Structure 1
Amino acid sequence: MATHHVLLLGGNGKVSRLLTPMLLQRSWDVTSIIYNPDQVADLQKLGEKPFSANNYGRLDVLVRSLEDVKSESQAKSLIDEVKPDYVVWSAGAGGKGAPERTEAIDRDAAIYFIRASVATPSITKFVMISFIGCRYKKAPWVDEAHWQQYLKSTRNHYQRYYEAKLPADEVLYVEGKKRKDFAGICLRPGRLTMEPAGNVSLGKFPRAEGTSSRPAVAYLAALLLDAPGVKNCWLDMLDGDEDPEGAVKRCVEQGVDCAEGEHFY
């Protein structure tokens, strides 16, 4: 098994805390970026080797404020310090607090780290955790009635978050296309829950409304990082009826890309 070093931005989030041991169990090293020093000791427990594990990766926890990253060069400086070959963005203000904070983290810092990652030849995969309705317009395969219901019931309530998040998703797609050896993967779940990981719907399906288990999101992120041949893409995800391993294999082999229909596709 090839070893990798993952830079996990937003390491104390619920998805990140589930993802971290999945990566360590693959004998990969993880550098987790958090902003609150009070969380370090608790997070480091995720790096404790289980008694049954033969090979377990190393977890490093660094305290850094993503809100204070104001340029691509600052993002590149952290990347050069950590020296990862994979990056996962699971950070964000999520629309909470002042609008400027959401814009500084979910839009600006994300874009700086995307551009810095693409500019780093040793980085070959970047997984962005986004959400299914983060689009400029309805996907061609989504039912119009379902889309309008989704806008009314969900997305319109998170307008600030959507407006900050979407430019970063677009930049990951556009910049990721510039390198043949780089995969910018935007994983796009629905309403997040803490239900146990189960089967999923991954790719194109006729609805945008639905739930996504956080453990399943984390597991899919790990599978996509581990998947040989995965290309630059957006992948929508809800709880469903296909096993995660089969869903990832199908989407990779078929080149499924949910960015279809967007102006930059």
Structure 2
Amino acid sequence: MMEPALVLAGGLGTRLRAVVGMSTPKPMAMVGGEPFLHWLLRMLARQGVPAVYLSVGFLHDAISGALGDRFEGLDLHYVVEPEPLGTGGAVALAASRIAAPRFLVLNGDTLAAMDLQAFAAQARADAADLSIALAQTSDVGRYGAVLYEPDTRKVTGFAEKGGSGAGWINAGVYMVDKAALQRLDLPTRFSFERDLMADRLAQLDMRAWPGVQDFIDIGVPEDYALAQTKVPRLVGSSPQGGHA
């Protein structure tokens, strides 16, 4: 059975405020006539995810009030941050509420066209502490690159933003082993990407899954404009969209 998913939906969305206003949480920004979260949740439902935990903070009532506790067959649960905890703190807090030993983590402002079933199966087979879905791009400058060994897919490092050239980038989809989080001495507030993935790389068995076909991050105005047509196309035409 597919693991549950955690969607990080508590960001302030400061870069999008000029476009969507102050009263709309970033994951609820309208894309193709629907809130972005509808598209993300629909993709998860179609790929067999049984339940989604939404990590919320900023304007959380606007999210829970709009979605309720069910969406297209998904059971929805809300984990409210008492204060901003960073992406890592949000994951750690939600992990304490999720019964499953492993769970998916996705960003609430990013959508990746990928086969989640295949990603999850590989993560289980690897039995890694953390698995990362990667997308290939012709220019890693905006995102930074993920470095890994092709044979073992073991992640060996992260290149900072500002470089150039083709490479593999983090698509914002993970499989997390709860036991790995629990054995590390992590603060209450921390960055998942910087303080865990980068700074604790030597302490973790971290594996790459270079199978993302396409993705989009709606966090900046120019990509938000692109998302109006790209997100419906990715969700509607993805060959992996048929899982039920």
Q: TM-score, with normalisation over the residues of structure 2? A: 0.42
Give 1 or 2: higher strand fraction: 2
- Larger RCO, structures 1/2 (Cα 8 Å, 6+ apart): 2
Give 1 or 2: higher helix fraction: 1
